[in-house]
């Protein structure tokens, strides 16, 4: 079948909830994806910050094949060794104390919301607690995750959302303080906002929220789904600031392609929130997903990926700054590590389309921001190639 035939078939059979690009992916290798006709694409999306290790990593593939030959799923009525090992490894790299494995990032956020509400219930026996989230945030498409997503356009058709959610502004500590009352139980935010335009939390804000939560017996809950797992040069973006959340969500690169997420919490939160029967999942923590987690964390250490990200980040930032300075309609470069954005004064869709036609895959973060979240194994030569194609694409869409 030709590319268009596959696309036509997909449009007949799949629910049209995505406006997909004219691309049918067949395979991947290293930093590159190939379509069904064999055309190569340099990938600066990584499945939306998922494929941190790059494609076709033999050690990773072999670990999954080995687990498939043993057992894929057993349910959470029983223990399984990969889940036990994965939880231990995740605790070691995060410094957290308790782990609950999910199937996705959105499910991890749902777990955080239930954790906060149960924490409040055990604190004072009430069920009317409020959670502070942030404007321009994105936490997922399920009802709870959507309720704390600070973009009204995502929520409008699905109201009413879950109640008692209030919104402050990123890096505006006073806006958070203004919402705190005796019913406030948690503050939830992305350490680096993704869909909201690649906006990192600054040190004053994250430390201020930590102090505010400590003073008021509230939980600081961080969404590290996109910005975690090494993307900023730290295993989790909050580790840069010397603070620790009470609970956090992680997914995407946690499994590097296998659907798996998790929410983690410190001992205080674990001892004073969810108990047996409060939460559960059929597939979460299954042996196949957790075998992936184990191998991913092992390969992160073997390949010294955190140091590699720190070494290559300045070069990516320099290249993006050069592109910004070249075009007066590019307003700003911002980001952290290998999670970068260029803000335009116009929609970036045409630039994305042109880049794909030239063999470069990039995506947006909102209508006006180009997002760069390549596999963490990216090298300077890949950045050079990306920059050359992007400049040509921008020039041809003027």
Torsion sign, CA atoms 78, 81, 83, 89: positive
CB 117 within 8 A of CB 211: no
Q: Digits of tens for pLDDT over the chain (398 positions)?
A: 899 999 999 999 999 999 999 999 999 999 999 999 999 999 999 999 999 999 999 999 999 999 999 999 999 999 999 999 999 999 999 999 999 999 999 999 999 999 999 999 999 999 999 999 999 999 999 999 999 999 999 999 999 999 999 999 999 999 999 999 999 999 999 999 999 999 999 999 999 999 999 999 999 999 999 999 999 999 999 999 999 999 999 999 999 999 999 999 999 999 999 999 999 999 999 999 999 999 999 999 999 999 999 999 999 999 999 999 999 999 999 999 999 999 999 999 999 999 999 999 999 999 999 999 999 999 999 999 999 999 999 999 98
Nearest by Cα to 345 from 324, 320, 361: 324
pLDDT (0 to 100) of residue 1? 86
CA distance readout (Å), 189 to 254, 283, 310, 382: 19, 26, 24, 32
Q: How far is CA 85 from CA 283, 289, 291, 299, 390, in A?
A: 17, 12, 9, 15, 42
What angle in degrees, to the nearest 10, is found between the helix axes of 349-357 and 380-396? 120
| DSSP bridge pairs for 393 | none
The closest alpha carbon to 338, from 93, 54, 52, 57, belongs to 52
d(CA 63, CA 72): 12
* Calpha distance 117→131 (Å, rounded): 9
- Crossing angle for the helix pair 305-326 and 287-302, to the nearest 10 degrees: 80
Asked if the peptide bond before residue 160 counts as cis, ω within 30 degrees of 0, the response is: yes
Return the pLDDT at 273. 98
Question: Which overall architecture, per CATH, does domain 71-302 show?
Answer: 3-Layer(aba) Sandwich (3.40)
State the pLDDT at residue 398.
Answer: 82
Domain residues of the chain, as ranges?
Answer: 3-56+304-396, 71-302
Contact predicate 72/219, CB 8 Å: no
Distances, alpha carbon 310 to alpha carbons 26, 264, 326, in Å: 31, 25, 25
C-alpha span between 85 and 160 (Å, rounded):
41
Domain pair 3-56+304-396 / 71-302, same fold = no
39 — phi, psi (to 5°)?
Answer: -70, 140
Q: What topology is assigned to 3-56+304-396 in CATH?
A: 3.90.1150
Give phi and psi for 289, each to the nearest 5: -60, -40
- Which pLDDT value is given to residue 19? 92
Within 10 angstroms of residue 342's Cβ, the number of other Cβ atoms is 27
């Amino acid at each position: 079948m030709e590319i268009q035939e596959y696309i036509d078939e997909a449009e007949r059979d799949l629910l049209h909830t995505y406006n997909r690009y004219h691309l049918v992916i067949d395979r991947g290798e290293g930093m590159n994806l190939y379509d069904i006709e064999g055309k190569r694409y340099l990938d600066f999306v990584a499945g939306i910050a998922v494929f941190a290790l790059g494609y076709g990593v033999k050690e990773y593939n072999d670990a999954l094949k080995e687990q498939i030959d043993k057992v894929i799923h057993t349910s959470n009525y029983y223990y399984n060794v990969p889940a036990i090992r994965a939880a231990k490894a995740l605790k070691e790299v995060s410094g957290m104390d308790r782990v609950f494995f999910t199937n996705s990032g959105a499910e991890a956020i749902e777990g955080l919301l239930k954790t906060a509400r149960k924490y409040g219930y055990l604190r004072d026996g009430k069920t009317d607690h409020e959670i502070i989230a942030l404007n321009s945030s994105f936490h997922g498409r399920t009802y709870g995750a959507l309720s704390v997503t600070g973009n009204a356009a995502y929520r409008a058709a699905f109201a009413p959302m879950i109640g008692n959610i209030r919104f402050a502004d990123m890096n505006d500590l006073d806006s958070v303080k203004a919402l705190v009352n005796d019913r406030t139980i948690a503050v939830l935010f992305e350490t680096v906002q993704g869909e909201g335009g690649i906006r990192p939390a600054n040190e004053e804000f994250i430390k201020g929220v930590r102090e505010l939560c400590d003073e008021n017996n509230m939980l600081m809950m961080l969404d590290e789904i996109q910005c975690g797992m090494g993307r900023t040069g730290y295993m989790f973006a909050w580790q840069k600031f010397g603070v620790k959340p009470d609970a956090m969500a992680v997914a995407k690169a946690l499994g590097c392609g296998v659907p798996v997420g998790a929410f983690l919490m410190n001992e205080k939160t674990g001892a004073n929130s969810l108990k047996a029967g409060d939460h559960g999942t059929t597939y979460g923590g299954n042996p196949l997903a957790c075998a992936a987690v184990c191998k991913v964390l092992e390969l992160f250490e073997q390949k010294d990926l955190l140091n590699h990200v720190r070494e290559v980040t300045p070069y990516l930032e320099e290249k993006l700054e050069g592109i910004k300075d070249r075009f007066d309609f590019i307003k700003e470069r911002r980001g952290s590590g290998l999670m970068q954005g260029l803000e335009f004064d116009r929609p970036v869709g045409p630039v994305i389309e042109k880049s794909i036609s030239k063999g470069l895959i990039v995506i947006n973060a909102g209508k006006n921001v180009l997002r760069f979240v390549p596999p963490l194994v990216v090298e300077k030569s890949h950045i050079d190639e990306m920059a050359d194609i992007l400049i040509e694409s921008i020039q041809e869409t003027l």
